[in-house]
């Protein structure tokens, strides 16, 4: 019954992708693709890890059991670079915003409030401008995965642009909350580069359009806005295909990002790198009596990534990346 349900879902998914063609008989190529995905699902039923431990995870990594890695990260991978967790009211970023009489701290990241009072956001954004920070070891670890041909996709909640500075390609990168790398006019939609935005922020405070003098909005996702289309386009394919999921520096509290951990195959190992346990509400398991695949590596993201890099003997790759970006 479970297999029948999976087959119906796979066929339904293919029909949806091909629009009107779904009403006709499936082509041979379409059937081939459907059965290929079902075969992958069946093959992945066997648990990869003998036990959910760091040593077992590394041993499987060395034996090339993992060839399709998805990484998802939050603010924790950038704190070592000095980037503040700007969505938390406890960071001190909000201290100079009292003059704006915010109804609550997070209002500064709501699109309705930005449209009324953009100067509040730009006051805060000056402390977050990409270019003032360098990538961390955690960012370079993800780049190494790409260099090794192991990375399917990297999903980030961060808007600091450090993935780009670390050299992660656009193809592999999904910035779920957007980034400062581009911006646009809220009226005429003219686009602007990060370099232009940074210069205007430093000179004028609130950047305005050169054509119509309307406020410019960075292409980050404010509360009340939809996530980028690339996010939804990629998750439907990436997570069913993944044979390893690495979660770093995320509280796994913000949806729909948090629920991504449930999209991988039920036996796909999930590596959680954090200084505390996270993800209980989305099914991350820490009880050894129930847990068969979740490996918790406690510590900072950089320390943990350094440990993995050392275990995998990727130190030379890291050193080369550090030299290139020095």
List residues with catalytic annotation.
177
Distance set, CA 293 to CA 176, 243, 266, 307 (Å):
26, 11, 9, 20
**307 annotated to bind ligand:** no
| Closest to 167 (Cα-Cα) out of 146, 196, 190 | 146
**157 annotated to bind ligand:** yes
**303 annotated to bind ligand:** no
Cis upstream peptide for 240 (omega within 30°): no
Unique residue bearing structure tokens 């398991």: 285
Contact 155, 257 (CB under 8 A): yes
| Closest to 237 (Cα-Cα) out of 73, 74, 70, 72 | 70
- Could you give the CA distance from residue 154 to residue 285 in angstroms, rounded to a whole number? 23
**234 annotated to bind ligand:** no
**76 annotated to bind ligand:** yes
**60 annotated to bind ligand:** no
- Could you give the CA distance from residue 196 to residue 146 in angstroms, rounded to a whole number? 30
**159 annotated to bind ligand:** yes
**188 annotated to bind ligand:** yes
- Could you give the CA distance from residue 185 to residue 151 in angstroms, rounded to a whole number? 34
**301 annotated to bind ligand:** yes
Tell me how far apart the terminal alpha carbons of the chain are, to the nearest angstrom. Answer: 56
* Number of C-beta neighbours around residue 101 at 10 A: 9
**160 annotated to bind ligand:** yes
**74 annotated to bind ligand:** no
**65 annotated to bind ligand:** no
Residues flagged as binding site for NAD(+) = 75-79, 85-87, 157-160, 301
Q: Binding site residues for Zn(2+), as ranges? A: 185, 188, 209, 212
Please enumerate, by residue number, every residue annotated as part of a binding site.
Answer: 75-79, 85-87, 157-160, 185, 188, 209, 212, 301
């Amino acid at each position: 019954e479970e297999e029948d349900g999976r087959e119906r879902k796979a066929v339904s998914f293919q029909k949806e992708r091909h629009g009107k063609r779904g009403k006709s008989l499936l082509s041979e190529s379409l059937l081939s693709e459907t059965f290929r995905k079902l075969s992958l699902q069946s093959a992945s039923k066997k648990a990869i890890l003998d036990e959910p431990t760091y040593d077992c995870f590394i041993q499987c990594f060395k034996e090339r059991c993992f060839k399709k890695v998805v990484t998802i990260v939050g603010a924790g991978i950038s704190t070592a670079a000095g980037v503040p967790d700007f969505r938390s009211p406890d960071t001190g970023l909000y201290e100079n915003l009292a003059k704006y009489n915010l109804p609550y701290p997070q209002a500064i990241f709501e699109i309705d409030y930005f449209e009324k009072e953009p100067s509040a956001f730009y006051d805060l954004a000056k402390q977050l401008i990409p270019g003032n920070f360098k990538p961390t070891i955690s960012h370079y670890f993800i780049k190494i995965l790409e260099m090794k041909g192991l990375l399917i996709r990297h999903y980030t909640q961060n808007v600091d642009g450090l993935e780009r500075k670390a050299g992660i390609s656009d193809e592999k990168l999904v910035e779920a909350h957007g980034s400062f790398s581009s911006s646009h006019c809220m009226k005429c939609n003219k686009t602007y580069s990060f370099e232009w935005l940074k210069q205007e922020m430093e000179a004028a405070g609130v950047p305005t359009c050169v054509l119509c003098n309307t406020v410019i909005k960075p292409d980050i996702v404010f509360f009340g806005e939809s996530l980028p289309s690339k996010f939804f386009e990629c998750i439907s394919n990436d997570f069913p295909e993944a044979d390893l999921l690495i979660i770093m520096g995320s509280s796994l509290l913000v949806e729909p990002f948090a629920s991504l951990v449930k999209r991988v195959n039920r036996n796909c190992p999930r590596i959680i790198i954090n200084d505390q346990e996270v993800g209980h509400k989305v099914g991350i398991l820490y009880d050894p009596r129930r847990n068969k695949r979740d490996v918790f590596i406690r510590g900072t993201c950089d320390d943990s990534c350094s440990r993995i890099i050392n275990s995998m003997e990727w130190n030379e790759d890291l050193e080369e990346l550090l030299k290139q970006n020095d």
